[in-house]
Amino acid sequence: MPAISFIIPAYNAEETLERALNSICSQKEFTDYEILVIDDGSQDNTVAVAKKFAQKEAKLKVLTAGNGVGQARNVGLKHATGQWVAFLDADDFYIADTLKQALNIAHKNDADLQIFSFEHGQKTIDLSFKTTLTSLSARCKMLEKPTNYLTVWGKFFKREIIATRKLYFDEELTMAEDSEFLIRYSACCSKICSSNLIMYHYSIDTPSATRIFAKEKISAYLKTLVAMNNFMVSQPKELQVSFFKFTLIQLNIIAVRFIYVATNPASMKQKKQTLLEVCQDPIIKQALNGLPLKACLTPHLLPGLFLKLKLPQFAILLFKIRSRQNQIRENTN
């Protein structure tokens, strides 16, 4: 049994896949692994790149899916044999010579979920917990900072937990499906650890693809929130409060990425109407009504504060500013 199974879903990744694979295979003194590349119906030469790489790397298997990233990851999970599982996006890569150290940290901590820090462009994101946290406290922290913590990449999962609990990605979800999986997985964890080791490089090689307006993406986000809420009702009260914060952060993402994004051709009046309709969705209303005002006094939740105070114009101003900041930042990366 290999120490770790790397699962790489790949869709039209011919330009970046080899970089991702080399970031594993070129690590010094690190050989105890397997790599599973799952093609998700690519229309380019992704499969050819993967198969050519497999000719020189016996630890690599090329599999096929075709119905979204969730199904691709599930195919990988069903074929994985490692003690640990790690997910790597095909346009990202591991920092040189960090995987052996990461594996040593995971073995030493014997956590059910091991979280590592990452870099994005020239910026490093330290995800280490500053104090020792209980599993519940760690789960609350992850919910309240989802952009940093609620992605499946940059983490080591225990395959035994996934297999015995039959934990798979919900293939009906198309947005934030990794967050939904992590919420269910972390509920099975007795110990969650984090490290300041910068192991993972997160890329946005084609940022415009995730910022193109499409109303169905808003509906997809709301669908995922409903699925999460259905799970949360059986969880401790502290976690439900953190989920309200998570929900309002997702509202911020919906507004910034899909409503007030520059590629949305709608008028400002139409955009405001769309936002107000989203705010009337039961899952969003639940969070707005359930979270006290004082809990919204943070930058990410400030729009929620204005919406709770019936001052949508100020929330909209923040959404516009943040959308513009994102556009400038992505154009300069």
Buried b (16+ CB within 10 A) or exposed e, 302-317: bbbbbbbeeebeebbe
Q: Round to whole Å and give the CA distance between 185 and 136.
A: 13
Q: Round to whole Å and give the CA distance between 108 and 1.
A: 19
Q: Are 5 and 81 in contact (CB under 8 A)?
A: yes
Q: Are 180 and 75 in contact (CB under 8 A)?
A: no
Task: Say how many C-beta atoms besides its own lie within 10 A of residue 24's C-beta.
Answer: 21
Cβ neighbourhood burial of 144 (10 Å; 0-12, 13-18, 19+): buried
What is the residue whose two structure tokens read 């760690």? 138
pLDDT for 37 beyond 50:
yes
Q: What is the per-residue pLDDT for 224?
A: 97
pLDDT digits (tens, 9 = 90+) for 61-72: 999 998 899 999
pLDDT digits (tens, 9 = 90+) for 96-150: 999 999 999 999 999 999 999 999 988 999 999 988 899 999 999 999 999 999 9
pTM of the model: 0.94
Q: Which residues contact 196 (CB under 8 A, 6 or more apart)?
A: 117, 126, 127, 128
Hey, where are the domains in the chain?
Answer: 4-205, 211-332
Q: Round to whole Å and give the CA distance between 173 and 68.
A: 9
Nearest 5 degrees, angle CA 177-CA 183-CA 189?
A: 135
Q: What is the per-residue pLDDT for 240?
A: 93
- Write out the two tokens for 333: 């990366």
User: What band does 209 get if pLDDT is binned at 50, 70 and 90?
Assistant: very low
Q: Are strands 113-120 and 123-125 parallel, antiparallel or unpaired?
A: antiparallel
Q: What is the CATH number of domain 4-205?
A: 3.90.550.10
- Between the CA of residue 142 and those of 16, 29, 99, 242, what are the distances in Å? 29, 32, 23, 9
